[in-house]
Amino acid sequence: MNDADLLLIYKSLRLPVLVIAIAYITYYVYKKRTKEEMEKPKYRMLEED
């Protein structure tokens, strides 16, 4: 493989990898169990005031 082939592979894979990573992060943050765990401190702080 020469440099041009490696560059082509890199350029063709960087966008799909980025999209998959952003989709996974979005899924992880907005799934119900995680969302409830992330909002617990907010409600605890409101109760303390």
- pLDDT given at position 38: 77
- pLDDT for 1-49, tens place per residue? 899 999 999 999 999 999 999 999 998 888 877 777 877 787 787 777 5
In angstroms and rounded to an integer, the radius of gyration of the C-alpha atoms of the chain is 20
Would you list the domain boundaries of the chain? 15-48
Please, what sign has the CA dihedral across residues 36, 41, 42, 44?
A: positive
> For position 44, what pLDDT does the model report?
81
Residue 49, pLDDT score: 59
